[in-house]
Amino acid sequence: MTSNRPSQGSGMRSRNNASRPRNGVASKELQEARRRRRQREVMRNRIILGACLALILALIIFLVVKVFGFVFNLGKSADTSTLTIKEDGSVVFEEVTDFDESVYSKSDLKAYTKDLISSFNETNGKNAVSLDKLSVKGDVAYIKTTYKDAACYSSFTSYETYAGSYEDAVSAGYDFATLYSQVADDALLEADTVDAASVFAGSQVVVVNENVTVNVPGTITYVSTANVELIDSDTLAISQADGNEDASDMVFIIYKAN
């Protein structure tokens, strides 16, 4: 009876060992698949994060450039007397003029300017005119003032000035029957007649009767031809060919608003 017992290492035990699943190999394969998937997810997340960081950095650089440019322009003074028409209708005048300290001092100039503005505002409103800056460097004085609108500027300085739509300018009595130079490729073309009623309809207009640089909030399209020089798409200079500052021409500036 004893001889019929199965021996160690044979029979069912051997068959059971052969049929056992290779769990170790399968587990390793599964782990490897999961590892590769995690690597792909990590790489994808890194790419997304890198793109986001690059976008944020570009935005920061853009904002910094804009801020510094804005601050720089705020502190920048005009080299010549400049009349700037703002989008809200207000007018900024930067006057650059000769200064002789033997005639009067900087303090006298400042007191005189403030008195003029104060007296004007008593009649025309508290914020009709404001003094933004006054400085003297050597024999040159710089005075920056802001006016609530072109009519206010015209009244204060006695230089006829208008800013508004073409239609309102016609209603105000302005006659546009003159020769105009069209602006193309940053240059003034040869002067010609223009059907103002159709060509200028819907445009903005600045009328100036003063030898001064004029800046408008848009793109200049036409200019009446009277001693003008185009400086930029939104800026032109008015001056007499013979240098006579006591003479001036009425200039019509037609532009498309920004």
Task: Please report the pLDDT score of residue 23 as a whole number.
Answer: 54
In angstroms, the Cα distances linking 179 to 57, 182, 223 are 51, 10, 9
Q: Give pLDDT tens digits for 104-152.
A: 899 999 999 999 999 999 999 999 999 999 999 999 999 999 999 999 9
Residue 72 has pLDDT above 70, yes or no: no
Confidence of residue 75 (pLDDT cuts 50, 70, 90): low
Task: Please report the pLDDT score of residue 45 as a whole number.
Answer: 83
Question: How many helices and strands in the chain, by DSSP H and E?
Answer: 6, 13
* CB-based burial label for 22 (10 Å; 0-12, 13-18, 19+): exposed
78-158 maps to CATH 3.30.1360: yes
Cβ–Cβ < 8 Å for 249, 225 = no
Residue 3 has pLDDT above 70, yes or no: no
Q: Which pTM was predicted?
A: 0.71
Q: What distance in Å separates the CA atoms of residue 52 and residue 44, rounded to the nearest whole number? A: 12
Estimate the crossing angle of helix 106-124 against helix 150-157, to 10 degrees.
120
Q: Write out the DSSP string of 128-156.
A: SEEEEEEEEETTEEEEEEEESSHHHHHHH
What are the residue boundaries of the structural domains of the chain, listed by start? 24-76, 78-158, 160-258
Cβ atoms within 10 Å, residue 39: 10
- Listed in sequence order, the residues at least 6 apart from 257 whose beta carbon sits closer than 8 Å to its beta carbon are 87, 204, 217, 218
